[in-house]
Amino acid sequence: MAEPAPTFDLTDWPPTGSTAVRTSDAYELLHKQGYVYGPVFRGLKAVWRRGDDVFAEVELPEQAHGDAERFGIHPALLDATMHALGVGEDVTGDEPTELPFTWTNVSLHAAGARSLRVRLSPQGASSLRMSLADQDGAPVATIGGLMFRPVSVEQLVGSGGGGGLHEVVWRPLVGAGAAVSGVV
């Protein structure tokens, strides 16, 4: 069954009636909440608000453009869409730290985007709907529901200290002509 055509329009940009939001300290505020982003994940470029809706422009840095084609939506680009929630005149960096928990009704309409126009529309206290379009406003994806869950800064810091499920182990390659003990 074919996916229904998206019903959002992000061709009017920045959105009429929206107000620009300060983003110059975005990653400092997010860091204060415990988020640590490397250069590829620092894609937030601009944010606007209109009522309860948040609009954003996000873009992969040039060094990641080649990787964009490998994904429906590049993970760093998708992550940057949510950074728009952590900026603004009333944001101090002391807000609760939350991570995406449940994704519902996700539809991909186009793949390989290097930049996105984003509309985040709240659905209750810890959930939102997302509309993603390319730089011309053509639909890229819709997310019908994204729920967040709180996490402590200590939990985030503790996640990077080894003991993970996977590890890289280098083993010497046995040459094609070498005999392996016990193998006939």
Is residue 175 situated within a structural domain? Answer: no
Q: Is residue 4 part of a domain?
A: no
Q: Assess contact for 109 and 140: CB atoms under 8 A.
A: yes
**Token pair for residue 105?**
């009704």
Q: What domain range is 31 assigned to? A: 19-158
C-alpha to C-alpha distance for 117 and 18, rounded to whole angstroms: 14
166, two tokens: 């996977």
In a domain, 144, yes or no: yes
The helix or strand, by DSSP H or E, that contains position 148, with its residue range, turns out to be strand 139-150
> What SS3 class is residue 136?
coil
Residue 8 lies in a domain: no
In a domain, residue 29? The reply is: yes
Which pLDDT score, from 0 to 100, does residue 145 have?
96
The pLDDT value given to residue 93: 85
Which three-class secondary structure state does DSSP give residue 82? helix
Q: What is the pLDDT along the chain (184 residues), one digit of tens a residue?
A: 456 668 899 999 999 999 999 999 999 999 988 888 999 999 999 999 999 999 999 999 999 999 999 999 999 999 999 999 989 888 888 888 899 999 999 999 999 999 999 999 999 878 999 999 999 999 999 999 999 999 887 776 655 555 556 677 777 777 665 555 555 4
- 53-59 and 19-21: which strand pairing? unpaired
Looking at residue 108, its pLDDT comes to 95
In this prediction, residue 18 carries a pLDDT of: 97
pLDDT at 10: 96
* Residue 14 covered by a domain: no
What's the structural domain count of the chain? 1
- 184 located within any domain: no
Residue 164 lies inside a defined structural domain of this protein: no
- Distance between CA 104 and CA 183 in Å, rounded? 50
Q: What is the CATH number of the domain that holds 23?
A: 3.10.129.110
Q: How far apart are CA 101 and CA 117, in angstroms?
A: 22
pLDDT at 179: 53
Strands (E), 2-114: 19-21, 44-50, 53-59, 98-108
User: Any residues with CB less than 8 A from the CB of 23 and at least 6 apart, and which?
Assistant: 44, 45, 46, 47, 87
